[in-house]
Chain A
Amino acid sequence: MKRLTGLLTILIITLGVAIYLAQNIIPPENLHPLGEYYLENSYFGEHSAKSPEVVTSILWDYRGVDTLFETAVFFLAIIGSLTIFRLNREQSEEAKQGEPKPQLPEPVVVVTKLTVAMILAVSASIALHGQLTPGGGFQGGSALAVAPLLVIAAYTKYALEKNGLDKTRAIIIRSIGLLGIALTALTPLLVSGYIMQNQPIFPGEALGVPLGGSLVLYNLFEYLAVGAGFTAVFLLLSIPEEKFKKFLGVRR
């Protein structure tokens, strides 16, 4: 009851402020000049990124260095969590010992199988069509990370590891992704361009599909890096608490 009183107070205040503000806001009539520049240039203009998707062009081309540093922040966050959960060789072997048996009823497990396949397909299409439709590497990668998460929830983490996706593999895939991003960013220097230059160094289209030059490469590598980075953290987080207490020497 006390909770409802607080909720009602907040709702009434919010609605009052919203109704008061709504009468005093004048919507802008023109586009922001910078926005107009991006809209005109991203595909047709003189400073084109050869991509019809303006958001991806801004993310990986016009403001590419911002996104590069954003990826570096994500890299540091994942490295930080891997460092907190570091185990030696014997401990990580012991953490892999367990029964890969589903803990949920049969229908849930079957539906999970189908859903995982669909999530893989959708995430790949989000990431690899990032230069044509809304989406991109980070969005696709975070959708990809949901697939191992569902497997961990419906089966166990041991099922994932027995099928070959253990922590080391996830970290290797993630490193390939990050290395790819770094190499794509540095490639223009070879032909005396500047860092993260897109056009005219990278091909604008292939087989009639606009590739957006380097955008498709960045999206692909970011997809791998984000998806595998999240997977590595989930594999570590899903180690049962009893095992961690044993590793750390906590007695009860």
Chain B
Amino acid sequence: MIELHLTILAITALIGLIASYLAITEKDLLKAVGYSAVQAIAYAIAFYLLMAPDIVLAYVAIAVGIYSALLIFIIGKTERYEVM
């Protein structure tokens, strides 16, 4: 049973890692916000598996909702594409 938990934990952590790498390297900033939200969802599942439901409740609302919205507001005030 614990092996199943750890396997799901490893998979979510990997999805989070891949999503954060894509978010950092993405030049379209709106897509980068999307990747960052995917990373947040993966980490929320990881926190749930690590038995920290208090963190999950705050993390889902902040990292998926508020943080993405703040970044989208700020992208709306500048340019959509990152210039090299």
Contact = CB atoms under 8 A, between A and B. Distances in A.
Interface of A: 3, 6-7, 10-11, 14, 18, 55-56, 126, 134-136, 138-140, 142-143, 145-146, 149, 153, 230, 234, 237-238, 241
Contacts of A230: 66
A14 B61 CA distance: 28
Contacts of A6: 21, 25
Main secondary structure of the interface of A (DSSP, over half): helix
Given A241-B76, A241-B77, A146 B66 contact: yes
29 contacts: A3-B25, A7-B21, A7-B22, A14-B17, A55-B54, A56-B54, A134-B53, A134-B57, A135-B54, A136-B54, A138-B58, A139-B57, A140-B57, A142-B61, A142-B62, A142-B65, A142-B66, A143-B65, A145-B61, A145-B65, A145-B66, A146-B61, A146-B65, A149-B69, A230-B66, A234-B69, A237-B73, A241-B76, A241-B77
Nearest to B69: A149
A128 B21 CA distance: 38
A234 B70 CA distance: 8
B8 interface: no
A224 B57 CA distance: 17
A204 B63 CA distance: 34
A145 B54 CA distance: 17
B65 A139 contact: no
Nearest 10 pairs of A and B residues by beta carbon: A134-B53, A139-B57, A142-B61, A146-B65, A143-B61, A139-B58, A237-B73, A134-B54, A55-B54, A3-B25
Nearest to A149: B69
B77 to A, nearest CB: 5
A237 B70 contact: yes
B18 interface: yes
